[in-house]
Amino acid sequence: MDIMNSFSLKGKVALVTGGAYGIGFAIAEALAGAGAEIVFNCRSQKNLDQALADYEAKGIKAHGYIADVTDEAQVQELVAKVAAELGTIDILVNNAGIIKRIPMTEMSAEDFRQVVDIDLVGPFICAKAVIPGMIEKGHGKIINICSMMSELGRETVSAYAAAKGGLKMLTRNICSEYGEANIQCNGIGPGYIATPQTAPLRERQADGSRHPFDQFIVSKTPAGRWGTPEDLMGPAVFLASDASDFVNGHILYVDGGILAYIGKQP
């Protein structure tokens, strides 16, 4: 076995949802670095144009489309278009996601549903759209971007935790249902990663001091720092490549050790 070659993604087509910026962009950059052809989607022309320029600046010729992961017709159309223009999708990274930080008793059912719709129903819609092509091709890799909230709760994130806990189980179910078709579906559970999504948790206070949540997270992380999108690059390549062909239904937590740690005595 050529071990380095087993990590290569040459000739593979990868769709990274929400790959315009943040974690999705870094994962797409990693998959491109390992040889994959990159397709991504986002919701606005402005983000699409900016992302295409950002990929080009990295020397990556990415294919970007506007499609909302909650819209089944748009996703089916995107997958068909990619199949016609580039070939069947070999790798799907379900990365697109949002969070709403609202105490549960103040949260509307509409807000709760919107989070679940994007973070859980979206991955279902995208996986459903690519699985038939993967079955026909005889292989496929699906990576669901889970969260610390796939395991833990905290104030204000009830909808997000419900969705990401559900995404962990959707991961195991896709593995159970399609493992036989040589499809591996795994999750990556990022710890606290510095991206636009977590920017409000890192904002400087009026007196210039660090946000209390920023200090809390650094003290809760054995690595002693926030993660960066780049921390997810190696794990994503591993789970997208032949090197992980017997890894299925697993959630790989990339959290600097948060889940292993009880925390410091106050």
Identify the H or E element spanning 106: none
Q: How far is the CB of 3 from ligand GCO (least distance, A)?
A: 31
Query: What is the closest distance, in whole angstroms, from the C-beta atom of residue 217 to ligand GCO in the complex?
Result: 9
Residue 147 touching ligand GCO (CB under 6 A): yes
Considering beta carbons, is residue 132 or 153 the nearer one to ligand GCO?
Answer: 153
Among candidate residues 158, 134, 133, 163, the one with its CA nearest the CA of residue 147: 163
Q: How far apart are the first and last CA of the chain?
A: 51
Binds ligand NAP (CB under 6 A): choice among 78, 193, 236, 258: 193
Residue 18 lies near ligand NAP (rule: CB under 6 A): yes
Cβ–Cβ < 8 Å for 198, 209: no
| Residue (of 246, 131, 242) closest to 177 by Cα position | 131
Give 185's strand partners. Answer: 142
Closest by CA position to 29, among listed 8, 59, 4, 65: 59
Angstrom CA distances, 8 to 44, 64, 115, 205, stand at 32, 23, 34, 45
The piece of 107-115, 133-141, 194-202, 237-245 that touches ligand NAP (CB under 6 A) is: 194-202
- Which of the stretches 41-49, 75-83, 123-131, 144-152 binds ligand GCO when contact is defined by CB under 6 A? 144-152
- 12 vs 164 by CB, closer to ligand NAP: 164
Where helices occur in 119-224 by DSSP H, the ranges are 122-137, 158-178, 212-220
Nearer to ligand GCO, 101 or 139 (CB): 101
What's the DSSP call for residue 24?
A: H
Q: Does 101 bind ligand GCO (CB under 6 A)?
A: yes
Q: Return the one option of ligand NAP, ligand GCO, none that residue 75 interacts with (CB less than 5 to 8 A, by type).
A: none
Contact between 40 and ligand GCO by CB under 6 A: the answer reads: no
> Closest Cα partner for 185 from 198, 168, 202?
168
Report the C-alpha gap between 265 and 162 in whole angstroms: 29
Size of the site for ligand GCO (CB under 6 A): 13
Rule CB under 6 A: say whether 125 interacts with ligand NAP.
no
- Tokens 């104030």, residue? 155
Specify which residues 91 forms β-bridges with.
14, 141
In the residue annotation, 160 being an active-site residue is answered as yes
- Single out the catalytic residue among 21, 55, 160, 253: 160
| Residues engaged in binding ligand GCO (CB under 6 A) | 99, 101, 147-149, 154, 157, 160, 190-192, 197-198
| Residues engaged in binding ligand NAP (CB under 6 A) | 17-18, 20-24, 41-44, 47, 68-70, 95-98, 118, 122, 145, 147, 190, 192-193, 195-198
Return the active site residues: 160
